[in-house]
Structure 1
Amino acid sequence: MRPHIPGRDAEFTPAGAADGERAASARGKLLTWPVLAWGLWDWGSAAFNAVITTFVFSVYLTSSAFGDPAANESALSVGLAIAGACIALLAPVTGQRADRSGSTVFWLGAYTAIVVAVSAAMYFVLPEPGYLWLGITLLGVGNVFFELASVNYNGLLSRLATQDRVGAVSGLGWGMGYLGGIVLLLILYVGFINPEVGWFGVTDENRMDIRVSMLVSAGWFGLCAIPVLVTQSGKHAWRRWAAIEAAAGGDERALAGLESEPVDPVEAPARIMRHEPLAASYKHLWRTLVGLYRTHPEVLWFLLAAAVFRDGLAGVFTYGGIIAQNTFGFTSGEVIVFAVAANVVAGVATIAAGRLDDLLGPRRVILGALTVLVAAGLLVFVLHTAGARVFWILGLVLSGCVGPAQSAARSYLARLAPQGREGEIFGLYATTGRAVSFMAPMMYGASIWVGTHVVGAGAGYWGILGIVTVLAVGLLLMLRVQDPAGHITVGE
């Protein structure tokens, strides 16, 4: 396990010329191969996020091919709710156990492989009612292991750059995720879904176009995940990691105590088995929470604030297309075009905002993005009769603020997470997010209910007030959180 390194701000001179070059590299160039390899996982993960969960497979499951669409939506909600509960229970302890066994990269690869296999298995979900629950089960299992993989993936962020560059690295990865999703969606749309006869003779008979798209998505994610697993494994990865600690001002004796040999990927599962029973991991998690409450309550405040505003951010993209279609009169084709434009804007803005994160601090980026989101959301409500052009402008403004807030939240936590405890802390991050994931849907529906009693029929645009409310609450909670001053220390 990687120990806590005291005196990160102490003066430290690397022992050799090679270490000095690595330390300089850690402080210098942003677009190094390890950083790009890490970002490629984000790029590839959009195959599951954008294609499977949001735009293609979930829509396929709720179609009339599987029975009554309303009943299908209800069944899908049940399946995803169960998956969310599993994530909330498992994320902190699986991240903690990976930390304590020194096998973060191994479990990132294992969980990613499961997601890839589950994605490929979606090919076998035929468009018949009897296959509905097979599809929902695969989607739910994929969501669980995708989130567990994300915990380990986020935990690698501090290995890639010193604290003054973490924001740029996080923004690059998150932006690559947005752009990668759009590229893959366009490939699938042009190659398989839109034409009557697509590539390799694929047609929509028996929904082969959708099912083949699942195979392509699985391959896309699997190939894009390989670089980070290679670059973060072995002695070279450890040396880069040590050089980053040296560039950050780590203590030489503490650096010498870092794990000198990387974890053998064959031995990693055995190390987990020899570690501790699952119940003991939950006891350790409880001690961590008590320790945070006593010594670093600001971390718990951040986890609460981030959980709330991240749910609001998710609501912006979840309900943006619905508002565009039902309030501003967009056609289905125009919604797709808008979705492409919104994701491109989000990706570019997130990459650009990463530098602001490093210059101004993640707190200011989050506060600024949330303020603009609240203002733009209110304008959408006030100008709901102004036509499609107004929504294009305001919708792209909203899209351009979502990614920077998400990325800055990740970099904030990477700056705070104790050395060797990144997985556990990012696991808590995932759990708190899942714990309040009902807020945006609930407030969206409640606001529409209020609107129908105020203006009668056609009150769908009132839903934006529910999203704005969640974002505003997250903004208020974030006001009492300060920028991270360095890694916290949490007792064992």
Structure 2
Amino acid sequence: RNLIIFMCGEPVEGKEMTSTEEKPKLIATISWILYDFADTAYSMNVVSLYFSTWLIIELAQSDLWVSLANSLSMAMVALTMPVLGDWSDRQQKKKMGLFIFTMICIAGTFLIGVTGKSIQSLSMLTTVVLALYVISNYSYQGGLVFYNALLPAVSTPKTLGRVSGYGVGIGYLGSAAGLLIGGLYVDGNAFGLTIPGITAGGRVAAFIPTAFLYLVFALPIFFFVTEPPNMLVRERWHLRESYKQVWKTLKATNQYPGLLRFLVAKFLYEDSIQTIIIFMGVYTQAVMGFSTAATKTFFIMVIPAAVVGSAICGILSDHYGPKKTLVGVIAAWIVSLTVVVSSMNITVFWISGAIVGVLMGSTWTAARPLLISLVPGQRLGEFFGLYALSGKAAAITGPLLWSSAVLLFAKYGNIVKYKSAVAVLVVVMAAGLIVLLKVPDLHQQLKWRRQDN
């Protein structure tokens, strides 16, 4: 099946139409969506909840170590994924790249659980698990480049936003499954459910079952999704040439109107979102006083709103265009986080959490189609590499901004230092919105072109 590309406005050199709007097989679309289920379970259990709270709260280590581990893994993504995206385009290896990165992430997660139970020295344990986390998080984040680039293979131009939204929405169900499975092994029960033979093992017990959950639901994409042929496939690929090509692409982004602005905007707003994902478990417990069980309940409450919001956002993105949808989503983020900073009311926090859940899913749902509308389709892997470069560069600076604010205001106590950190993220996100407003909206031009055809 040929790779789907979009022709927006007047013809642009290099943007050749390479596909029809052939409907993909349902099993392929479902398999692609199930991968979102798998990796979001990892994101919830490892990135958002158990790893950071295990190190910071249970092992009494500094926020700085978690920030540095996340920043290092994201720096690795930023340095390597643009060229690996180019490799996947030219060698038609998106599925292979996704498979390798997925297996490394699963293995790293499994080993965090094994070493967490076997190493007694706190200093050695901290060093080893941080190294394993860097590897697993790098692989998880890097794999998303290949995964996102497979989206056109499981959708049509008319359903791109919806399929993206369904993936994000089902991904949040993966978060719920992760919390359920993790809760059984961490607390011995999950929302009243107990299974004979499974006893409470503490936060460290969440990693091994999360690795198995990731594996089971990731496998279908490798059997049922067919990678579309690419006009740029060639016999040989050179790393040095690929880095040169990425540099040329960065310098030539003005050939694709709005691309550079979008990447800068994404860097700014994702700087905040990635940091919130990492530290929201710590915030709920350190500032709002939630127990681990209450934190899981909070996340479970957020998930249904996120599922519904992602699906609705996909429909809105197809109807009104991804640019307008994303602008509305980022504006709502700013309002919601401002409310979180200014209030200590538990009810307000729960409501804000539900809204944030909707917005988190909606952000990815609208951002992927927006990028696809701005770039030539035969180079999607390369440009999703730049997409990752922008987001992961943000994820380098975001945790460091958070840690700097926490250290600066540490003497005022947990509430002030963590609320100050969130306030810094609000300012950065507002800057991202200002840049995003200048990205061209090509959705209407695309609709006119389809009508003319």
Q: Same fold (TM over 0.5)?
A: yes
Determine if the alignment matches structure 1 residue 345 to structure 2 residue 305. yes
Superposed, 1:60-99 pairs within 5 Å as 60-62=54-56, 69-70=60-61, 73-99=63-89
In the alignment, structure 1 segments of 5+ residues that lack a partner are: 11-19, 242-256, 264-270, 488-492
Larger Rg: 1
| Aligned counterpart, 1:186 | 180
Q: Give the deviation of 1:447 after TM superposition.
A: 6.4
1:360 is the counterpart of 2:320: yes
Residue 390 of structure 1: CA displacement? 1.9
Aligned partners of 2:52, 2:368: CA distance in 1, in Å? 27
Match of 2:23 in 1: 25
Using a 3 Å threshold, how does the CA distance of structure 1 residues 146 and 438 change in structure 2: closer, same or farther? Answer: closer
- TM-superposed CA distance for 1:331, in Å, is 4.7
Query: Which residue is 1:426 aligned to?
Result: 384
What is the one-letter code of the residue matched to 1:201?
G
Aligned residues of 1:363 and 1:483 also touching (Cα < 8 A)? yes
Q: How far off is 1:99 after superposition?
A: 0.5
Question: Is the 8 Å Cα contact of residues 85 and 384 (structure 2) preserved in structure 1?
Answer: yes
- TM-score normalised per structure 1: 0.77
**Alpha-carbon deviation of 1:120?**
2.5
Give the Cα–Cα distance (whole angstroms) in 1 for the partners of residues 332 and 393 of structure 2. Answer: 26
Aligned residue for 1:390?
A: 348
Q: Which residue of 1 aligns with 2:266?
A: 306
User: Which residues in structure 2 correspond to 1:86-485 (within 5 Å)?
Assistant: 86-125=76-115, 126-128=118-120, 129=122, 130-189=124-183, 191-195=184-188, 199=195, 201-204=197-200, 207=201, 213-233=206-226, 238=228, 275-293=236-254, 295-325=255-285, 327-382=287-342, 384-385=343-344, 387-441=345-399, 444=402, 459-460=416-417, 461-484=419-442
Q: What is residue 46 of structure 1 aligned with on the other side?
A: 40
Are the structure 2 counterparts of residues 176 and 281 from structure 1 closer, same or farther at C-alpha, using a change threshold of 3 Å?
same
| Aligned-CA RMSD value | 3.5
Work out the CA distance in 2 between the residues paired with 1:363 and 1:348.
20
User: 1:59-111, CA deviations, whole angstroms, 9 ceiling, x for partnerless residues?
Assistant: 3344655xxx235x544443333222211110100110011011211221222
1:356 Cα shift?
0.5
| Pair 1:2–1:334, CA change in 2 (3 A) | same
CA distance in 2, matches of 1:61, 1:443: 19
Tell me the number of residue pairs that the alignment of Structure 1 and Structure 2 aligns: 429
Distance in 2 (alpha carbons) for counterparts of 1:456 and 1:46: 32
Unaligned runs of 5+ in 2: 11-18, 447-453
**Structure 1 counterpart SS, 2:395:** coil
Shift of 1:423: 1.2
Aligned counterparts of 1:115 and 1:474: Cα–Cα separation in 2: 30
What is the TM-score when the length of structure 2 is the normalising length? 0.83
